Structure 1
Amino acid sequence: MKKQAASNRVLVQPERGKSMYDYILPVSNKDIISIAKRAFNLVDPRLMGHGERVANIMFQMMKAEGGYTPVQMRNLLTLAVLHDIGAYKTDEIDHMVEFETKHVWNHSIYGYLFLDYFSLFKELSKVVLFHHSSWKQLENMADVSEPVKKAAQMLQLADRLDIYFENPKNRMGREPFLTYLERERDRKFSSEVIDLLLDTPLVPPSCDYIGISPQFDRIMETVPFTEEEKESILQMLIYAIDFRSPHTVTHTITTSVISSELAILLCGQKHAVNDVMCGAMLHDLGKIGIPVEILEYPGKLSPQAMNVMRNHVNLTEYILGDSVSDAVKNIALRHHEKLDGSGYPRGLRAADLNVPQRIVAIADIVSALTGTRSYKGAYSKNRTLGVLTGMAEQGLLDSGIVGLLVERYDEIMDSVREKTGPLLEKYQEMQDRYWEILYQLEEKEGEP
């Protein structure tokens, strides 16, 4: 990123309707989608690569139909890659990977809510909500637009095709699959989307459709995401992880706000503050691959469970890959390192840890102490600062940064409360809407 002039206050409050932060993650379309794909791959091994293959199938169907603009194609294909974003929140993956699946509303609802609340693809969010609805249900929904109905059907058919042929028992089962499609014509799937699929090269005699078309990669790069679009995808992914339980809802935002406030005071240059903000936002992505029973265990973890928990840093490294700068990646990956070498995962020492990395390590501890967990309440100001100063005195944390935090604690935590309040309200609203939508969909499912 281009270096910019130093300033005492390099971040500004955003205008109404814009992001709560002014930061830029300098990545391409391919990078941001790759981060999302690698994160989803950790949810369950059976979903490995599923989103990208489904998007590739949809691409072939859209190409067969024609008439889509590059922006429409990019947005629908992005949606297809992300369509299982709600899966982490449920225990229904066993049913999702069954071919003749039923009653998998939960992940569809959560996926819809994440898209509706946190992304710029709001107008397409119902595509994910209805991607397990039958055509018989959809065709009579007057409040759902025809383009959304068609896209939801295309997504469902692509999803089922991938699930079917990913089962080794079905690799040579072209005729049974075609028989299934004809049986479900105008019942589960509309004739229109079945015919679109049959116009593609995806159901050849060998059924070897797994390769991703080079054209698919090219179309995903044709229209670059705006900074706002990239941020919305990233935030949706981060909140999907944080929203695993009410105890983790605000952790990333709290860590990010504290980090940015300290970076503004200590780092000066805007690009350095930007790197701190990005690293803080990304620091816990790997927790998507940690079982929730370990994340929320109500007590001290066993040595074995602690090793699993600590692996979230390595999983974060896998998710980020080469998609972000080394500066941002190292800020994200070193938030559990200590100045005396007693931290993890690499046991780095003071000489290895720069100021941005030390800032996020301290912010992460403050967020953990002041937040609630299943096994603890929020620490008071005095107790939090006591822990931090004690760790600084032991040579674990940077004493200068801790001293600045102590001096500005009230101001910084006021900013935390200002930023996390709306998110907590949104979380509660999403929970309420989840139950409301589930009730409505189950009612529709029971209609003749």
Structure 2
Amino acid sequence: MRVEQLSIDIVGLAGACSYALDCIEAELVNVKNKHGKRVAYISVCMAKYCAIQGDALQDLAICALLHDNALTQYISEEVQKYPDTDIKNDLSENKTNMHCVYGEKNITKIPFKTDISNVILYHHEHADGTGPFRKKWHEIPLFSRIIHLADIVDIIGNSIESADHRWDFICQYLSQNKDRLFDSECVNAFQKGFTKESFMCLRDDSFETKLWEIVPREKQFFDWKTCKNVADFFAKIVDYKSSFTSRHSIGVAEKASLLARYMGYDSVIVHKMYLAGALHDIGKMAVGNEILEKPDKLTDDEFSKMKNHAGYTYLILSEVNDFEDIRDWAAFHHEKLNGKGYPFGKTADELNEPERMMACVDIYQALTEDRPYKKGLSHEKTCDILDDMSQKGFIDSDISKTIRECFGRI
């Protein structure tokens, strides 16, 4: 039996997702755009002096890009358990063990080439054993210690406005906290990996080019089980962003692939549709929950901000090499055949069948799923609404009819 494989730029996908994670972290601590990528760049520059290379270097970069992958999950679950919790203060006081636990479990879905056990779990530990799990430096994986230092250095660096003072302050901070927060090996690696001049590249976009020179963006073939795990990893991050859409991305992914198979597409397209469905709302990470979770009608300004999420999805997924099909199927899910959709206002002539399918599936999933403020509609009622939308020229009528047949079997 032939096993289908997909070729994916896994490093690029992790890098693209790091932007979405930055949007969440920016609400909690002082991080700026491309925080995850800067942490990855600092980490791989330090790795040069720790004899890390090849597959291990790539795995370190992915871990650094996704070091806080469980922030949305942590925030969502803690707020549900303890509504009065001050999440920002909770994190700043180092009560970070749960998001590290969640993150360690989540990261197992990513295909690594080397053993990265406990790297995410212990990336907030201190060298002297005063961190969340009270592990001392010799009990902590080297990758964890590198990412911990890189994370703190970037946060501190962005808290100092003066470029002239930034480098000196960081060097002084590392020296003062050597063998307390950070072990000597990592401090030395940072000091050897950077000069004041080379550190300044982190203030512009030039470091990103250098990052991808150190860690090549090579596409790799993965079997479908691995690809599905990757898709589910990113969908989980997105869906935890809001309690209103706790399984929306997974639902769209499952139904988009089911519809594609029903319509006769080959397995590669079916699997790509699953990936596109899982990633279609990744742009919502850049939209505030006060808009995402507003049960009332959005104002014109709020709706304008909400519409930006599809554009963000397009921009985020554009960072992944050879991902154009999946990017477009994901990002065009709010386009309409009459040209009145968003973010690009595409017309029927500009929308292919998979893009039209994703738009219909997204609507179907949104209408049928329960939300805190509404009960999901029945299959028949939802299909009636889809048919009405097709008659008005919003969506494809043939796909609407096929959905009635296909999903009626579920």
Which TM-score band (shorter chain)?
A: 0.7 to 0.9
Take 2:217 and 2:283, find their aligned partners in 1: how far apart are those partners?
A: 29
User: Deviation of residue 147 (structure 1)?
Assistant: 7.0
CA RMSD of aligned residues (A): 3.5
User: Deviation of residue 287 (structure 1)?
Assistant: 0.8
User: Deviation of residue 218 (structure 1)?
Assistant: 3.7
Local SS of the residue matching 2:207: coil
The answer to whether 1:201 aligns with 2:193 is: yes
Q: Which residue of 1 aligns with 2:406?
A: 408
Tell me if structure 2 keeps the 8 A contact 1:388–1:402.
yes
The one-letter amino acid paired with 1:127 is V
User: Deviation of residue 371 (structure 1)?
Assistant: 0.8
The answer to whether 1:212 aligns with 2:210 is: no
- Select 1:187's aligned residue among 164, 173, 180: 180
User: Deviation of residue 314 (structure 1)?
Assistant: 0.8
**Gapped runs of 5+ residues in structure 2?**
76-85
Q: Which residue of 1 aligns with 2:312?
A: 315
TM-score by structure 2 length?
A: 0.80
The answer to whether 1:350 aligns with 2:348 is: yes
Q: Which residue of 2 aligns with 1:81?
A: 65
Take 1:120 and 1:246, find their aligned partners in 2: how far apart are those partners?
A: 28
Local SS of the residue matching 1:383: helix
Take 2:89 and 2:133, find their aligned partners in 1: how far apart are those partners?
A: 29
The one-letter amino acid paired with 1:227 is F
CA, structure 1 residues 367+144, in 2 after alignment: closer, same or farther (shift >3 Å)? farther
CA, structure 1 residues 145+136, in 2 after alignment: closer, same or farther (shift >3 Å)? closer
Take 2:259 and 2:404, find their aligned partners in 1: how far apart are those partners?
A: 11
CA, structure 1 residues 213+341, in 2 after alignment: closer, same or farther (shift >3 Å)? closer
User: Deviation of residue 312 (structure 1)?
Assistant: 0.8
Q: Which residue of 1 aligns with 2:153?
A: 161
- Select 1:119's aligned residue among 89, 110, 122: 110
Take 2:309 and 2:161, find their aligned partners in 1: how far apart are those partners?
A: 31
CA, structure 1 residues 60+346, in 2 after alignment: closer, same or farther (shift >3 Å)? closer
The one-letter amino acid paired with 1:368 is A
Tell me if structure 2 keeps the 8 A contact 1:40–1:47.
no
Q: Which residue of 2 aligns with 1:152?
A: 144
The one-letter amino acid paired with 2:193 is P
User: Deviation of residue 142 (structure 1)?
Assistant: 9.4
Q: Which residue of 2 aligns with 1:172?
A: 165
Take 2:372 and 2:270, find their aligned partners in 1: how far apart are those partners?
A: 32
CA, structure 1 residues 332+156, in 2 after alignment: closer, same or farther (shift >3 Å)? same
- Select 1:306's aligned residue among 303, 307, 327: 303
User: Deviation of residue 49 (structure 1)?
Assistant: 1.7
User: Deviation of residue 104 (structure 1)?
Assistant: 5.4
Take 1:141 and 1:221, find their aligned partners in 2: how far apart are those partners?
A: 34
Stretch deviating more after TM superposition (154-163 or 140-149): 140-149
Report sequence identity in percent: 26
Q: Which residue of 2 aligns with 1:33?
A: 14
Alignment: residue pair count: 386
Tell me if structure 1 keeps the 8 A contact 2:336–2:395.
yes
Stretch deviating more after TM superposition (389-398 or 173-182): 173-182
Q: Which residue of 2 aligns with 1:257?
A: 254
Tell me if structure 1 keeps the 8 A contact 2:125–2:131.
no
Local SS of the residue matching 1:56: helix
Q: Which residue of 2 aligns with 1:378?
A: 376
User: Deviation of residue 364 (structure 1)?
Assistant: 0.6
Local SS of the residue matching 1:227: strand
Larger Rg: 1
CA, structure 1 residues 175+321, in 2 after alignment: closer, same or farther (shift >3 Å)? closer
CA, structure 1 residues 253+103, in 2 after alignment: closer, same or farther (shift >3 Å)? same
TM-score by structure 1 length?
A: 0.74
Matches within 5 A, 1:225-264: 225-227=220-222, 232-264=229-261
Tell me if structure 2 keeps the 8 A contact 1:341–1:350.
yes
Take 2:393 and 2:133, find their aligned partners in 1: how far apart are those partners?
A: 63
Take 1:295 and 1:223, find their aligned partners in 2: how far apart are those partners?
A: 35
Q: Which residue of 2 aligns with 1:446?
A: none
**Gapped runs of 5+ residues in structure 1?**
1-10, 15-21, 414-448
Q: Which residue of 2 aligns with 1:424?
A: none
Take 1:366 and 1:23, find their aligned partners in 2: how far apart are those partners?
A: 29
